[in-house]
Chains A and B, each alone.
Chain A
């Protein structure tokens, strides 16, 4: 069952240049992307910084309004929801952010931080709230006495556990994980990722897992979407995509990740140049200036996202897109 579905989702920011606001450009942070998250499964979104991952997360969380396209939650368009349904959506979708030092209010006790979603959305007695808080602390593997402490008394990994406990307070269906382990020590990362996986198995959660760390995404996700300059260039089942990436960008990303065995030999693809400015993306395929396989048509025609060997790829190398582009 599909929990959340995005169709042609876009977010364009207007950029103002010059004092009188002339020569305005559009930053296409997210440019017509589509994806679906199934119940109890994880969709991983990867890409370099600036590719629109975090904007996607904000759109799903309702922190930003999309400028185009739609998000459907359990089959209903978010835009058309009434107040009650909107509240239901708010309760069903929670988030864990990157920086565990910025995501907990330094002036609140842990019990108040974890209980905030509960007390805001439901009428509960103090005793019931306390019970919930202790159960949630237990769920993320923190001792009961944590409840009465302040955030500064915890390490980064512990804080991230607290953030997860808070995200789970309302028993959400979908949790948006925006780089949940990027700010943590390497030694802590695996613990948090395993905790997240255990919680998914136990509670049937769906995750939208956003990261730039391919190993983490491959470890966590059932499906993966690779983004480049606001567009999805390749998406499909995690296993297929990780074993045999098709899009030259995906290939380069996976070749840059460390192999699981130090003696593994494989072809290394080094990309030249930087990510172009999203204000002036290159014409045609956004990736063509850095692509080792660029052809003449890549600079003229944007490739469509088409089915290639059981996953979607947007690249002219795989001829199927010719028909779509001509139409």
Chain B
């Protein structure tokens, strides 16, 4: 009897976070951030870019000296931290998702062409990929921003340009095995052109891998965006990006203005962690071949 109750048993500690493997908490967090980002205008109590110098360095509401007016305090220009975090979510979401999509489209496209056509096309694309991968991503991104100048749009393009190589590698590998499959041979026998085969037979079959890779890349891209903003070559101020908030707040750390750094830091951490956990789950769920990645 005790055996049976144990089999159905009490949920282990992990089951609270992942019911039957589904990463509930990460999905809720990422979903929550997305919701906040979409409805930032409605949710934020103040304009994130305008503050009053009279209300500088107000602590969060629950601390001595805090007030209900600014729930999470204010920064060195008297701007409401909560409002800035809410609008910062929008920046992270927009930059993160679009950069992942840009990288995914470039990388998947090149990976398919490279793997399917083979020969010198493959050689050229793969050698470029090798060279690209040899460059340290963050340094490379800083270098590129230094050339084109920082703006949200440029950051998206730069992150896409830096991170497409990972897609290209993985997708090319998939295509190499896919193109030996019999349905591809039969498509050739049926007289399909190479373009048709790539679009109709190869692309739909690598889409799973591309999506899984995209979820895993989301975390990397968001951290890179935050790092670029922190270093001052990312989203230009006064736009409220989390990385930028960290950079602005770091001087206040030692004098006790902890909320200026800890809060955006926690936001970045939660978002990246959630994205990675969802990615891990999707990877196992959709594509057992990618498990070793």
Chain A residues proximal to chain B, CB less than 8 Å: 61-63, 87, 90-91, 93-95, 97-99, 102-108, 116-117, 120-121, 163, 166, 170
Indicate the size class of the contact surface on chain B: 10 to 19
Asked if A107 and B205 sit within 8 Å, CB to CB, the answer is yes
Q: Does B181 contact A (CB under 8 A)?
A: yes
Query: A97 vs B183: C-alpha distance in the bound complex, in angstroms?
Result: 9
Whether A102 contacts B204 in the complex (CB less than 8 A), given A63-B189, A116-B190, A117-B190, comes out as: no
Query: A116 vs B184: C-alpha distance in the bound complex, in angstroms?
Result: 12
- Residue from A62, A98, A116, A170 within 8 A of B192 (CB atoms): A116
Asked if B183 and A105 sit within 8 Å, CB to CB, the answer is yes
- Residue from A63, A87, A99, A108 within 8 A of B188 (CB atoms): A63
Q: Does B20 contact A (CB under 8 A)?
A: no
Whether A97 contacts B196 in the complex (CB less than 8 A), given A90-B191, A117-B191, comes out as: no
Query: A90 vs B205: C-alpha distance in the bound complex, in angstroms?
Result: 25
Asked if B205 and A106 sit within 8 Å, CB to CB, the answer is yes
Asked if A97 and B190 sit within 8 Å, CB to CB, the answer is no
- Residue from A63, A93, A102 within 8 A of B183 (CB atoms): A102
Contacting residues, chain B, for A98 (C-beta < 8 A) = 182
B21 to chain A, nearest CB (A): 22
Residue among A93, A95, A97, A116 having the largest count of chain B Cβ atoms under 10 Å:
A116
Query: A61 vs B187: C-alpha distance in the bound complex, in angstroms?
Result: 12
- A-B CB contacts (within 8 Å), total count: 57
Q: Closest residue of chain A to B181, judged by CB?
A: A102
Asked if A94 and B205 sit within 8 Å, CB to CB, the answer is no
Q: Closest residue of chain B to A170, judged by CB?
A: B190
| Beta-carbon contacts under 8 Å, B166-220 to A | 181-183, 185-192, 196, 200-201, 204-205
Contacting residues, chain B, for A90 (C-beta < 8 A) = 189-191
Query: A99 vs B187: C-alpha distance in the bound complex, in angstroms?
Result: 15
B50 to chain A, nearest CB (A): 51
- Residue from A97, A107, A120, A166 within 8 A of B204 (CB atoms): A107
Contacting residues, chain B, for A99 (C-beta < 8 A) = 182
Q: Closest residue of chain A to B187, judged by CB?
A: A116
26 A-B residue pairs with Cβ-Cβ distance under 8 Å, sorted by A, are: A61-B185, A63-B185, A63-B188, A90-B190, A93-B189, A94-B190, A95-B185, A95-B186, A97-B186, A98-B182, A99-B182, A102-B183, A103-B181, A105-B187, A105-B201, A105-B204, A106-B205, A107-B204, A108-B200, A108-B204, A116-B190, A120-B190, A120-B191, A120-B196, A121-B191, A163-B186
- Residue from B182, B192, B205 within 8 A of A103 (CB atoms): B182
Contacting residues, chain B, for A116 (C-beta < 8 A) = 187, 190, 192
Query: A103 vs B201: C-alpha distance in the bound complex, in angstroms?
Result: 11
Residue among B183, B187, B200, B205 having the largest count of chain A Cβ atoms under 10 Å:
B183
Contacting residues, chain A, for B201 (C-beta < 8 A) = 105
Asked if B182 and A97 sit within 8 Å, CB to CB, the answer is yes
B200 to chain A, nearest CB (A): 8
A271 to chain B, nearest CB (A): 31
Whether A166 contacts B186 in the complex (CB less than 8 A), given A102-B181, A105-B205, comes out as: yes
Residue among B186, B191, B192, B200 having the largest count of chain A Cβ atoms under 10 Å:
B186
Q: Closest residue of chain B to A103, judged by CB?
A: B182
Q: Closest residue of chain A to B203, judged by CB?
A: A107
Q: Closest residue of chain B to A86, judged by CB?
A: B191
Q: Closest residue of chain B to A178, judged by CB?
A: B182
Q: Closest residue of chain B to A116, judged by CB?
A: B190
Asked if B182 and A61 sit within 8 Å, CB to CB, the answer is no
Query: A239 vs B74: C-alpha distance in the bound complex, in angstroms?
Result: 95
Contacting residues, chain A, for B187 (C-beta < 8 A) = 105, 116
Contacting residues, chain B, for A117 (C-beta < 8 A) = 190-191
Contacting residues, chain A, for B191 (C-beta < 8 A) = 87, 90-91, 117, 120-121
